[in-house]
Amino acid sequence: MTYTLSQITQTLDITFEAKDKEITGIHTLSEATATQLSFFTDSKYLSALSTTKAGAVLIDVKYAHLLPSSTIALLTDEAYLKLALASKLFAHKVITKGGHPHLGEGCDIDKRVRFGNNVTLGNNVIVMAGCYIGDNVSVGDDTLLYPNTILYHGTQIAARCIIHAGVVIGCDGYGFAHTKQGEHIKIYQNGDVIIKEDVEIGANCTIDRAVFGSTIIRKGSKLDNLIHVAHNCDIGEHSLFAAQVGLAGSTTLGRNVVMGGQSGSAGHLEIGAFATIAGKAGVTKSLEGGKTYAGFPAIEIQMWRKMQGLLMRMLKKRK
């Protein structure tokens, strides 16, 4: 979908004084191209303003002078809200009529599977009853989809993956902007999900699509049942998640991260390669790799054990 900037700003009730241009989508300041719209709402991204290649940016007037001359400033004191309204313009159009998939050799597809349009399945793919594979989805060779797996539009599954029953991949991430009156306006999630080779995803997991760009689960990672991966997360190769792990949006993991049952993370942080997060631990800040962490907030496990021992001794003294 392509709109002129004048069409977009009319929808957003914003005026601008510059030559009109075509806009093909929305992305972050660092990733946007000359045909994309971006936004600025957080001072921690201040350094990205001068280097952005975005065609136009939703921005408060006091920061507009920091943009390069090639980028049009769309002045507003509600940039995040305007982003939400603009995201609807580029949202995938949902239709119920599907098509016949492009099939590789040796596929085994149950007759009770439904397909969207422009679906591609590799060789020897098995799709069991009750699955739905949406528009523009690709599934790699030798991948197995157990019953009632749902792949939303644009999802990419690589070769030799196993997706267990009831998994939902590519549903919308949890994103809303808020009006001054306290109403919640949906930010349409216009990215996708990419599952790399040899990934196994347990039953009833949910993996959200990205706001922009991709949510990624990298090669060889294994997810237990009942896990939630939020929008724009990036899970490193050969990571292991036990049941009921939950990752908030834009969490980035290095390779071979192990997360124990019911552990979780806040958003917009990094967990280094070969880190281990003990069961029920809560990660609230970025953590170095190669160490084991426990507790809430998660700290190195040796310190956590000392704290627990100290608390127990204090309690015994009070009795």
Asked whether residue 315 is assigned to any structural domain, the reply reads: no
The total of structural domains in the chain comes to 2
Residue carrying structure tokens 């093909």: 24
Asked whether residue 128 is assigned to any structural domain, the reply reads: no
**Three-state SS for 46?**
helix
Reported as a single tens digit per residue, the pLDDT across 41-79 is 988 889 999 999 999 999 999 999 999 999 999 999 999
Task: Decide: pTM greater than 0.95.
Answer: no
Q: What are the tokens at 143?
A: 């991948």
The pairing of strands 252-253 and 270-271 is parallel
Instruction: Give the domain range for residue 55.
Output: 3-90
**8 Å CB contact between 108 and 126:** yes
CATH number at residue 66: 3.40.1390.10
Asked whether residue 133 is assigned to any structural domain, the reply reads: no
Q: What are the tokens at 67?
A: 């943009």
Asked whether residue 273 is assigned to any structural domain, the reply reads: yes
Distance of alpha carbon 70 from its chain centroid, rounded? 29
Which is catalytic among the residues 27, 92, 153, 231?
Answer: 231
Asked whether residue 106 is assigned to any structural domain, the reply reads: no
CATH number at residue 189: 2.160.10.10
Does 27 participate in catalysis according to the annotation?
no
Asked whether residue 251 is assigned to any structural domain, the reply reads: yes
Q: Give average pLDDT by consecutive 10-residue segment, the chain, 319 residues.
A: 94 91 96 96 92 96 94 96 97 94 98 98 98 98 98 98 98 96 97 98 98 97 98 98 98 98 97 98 98 97 94 82
Whether residue 171 sits in one domain with residue 271: yes
**8 Å CB contact between 57 and 80:** no
Asked whether residue 147 is assigned to any structural domain, the reply reads: no
Whether residue 196 sits in one domain with residue 79: no
Rounded CA-CA distance 101/83 in Å is 34
Whether residue 287 sits in one domain with residue 183: yes
Whether residue 194 sits in one domain with residue 286: yes
Whether residue 279 sits in one domain with residue 185: yes
Reported as a single tens digit per residue, the pLDDT across 106-115 is 999 999 999 9
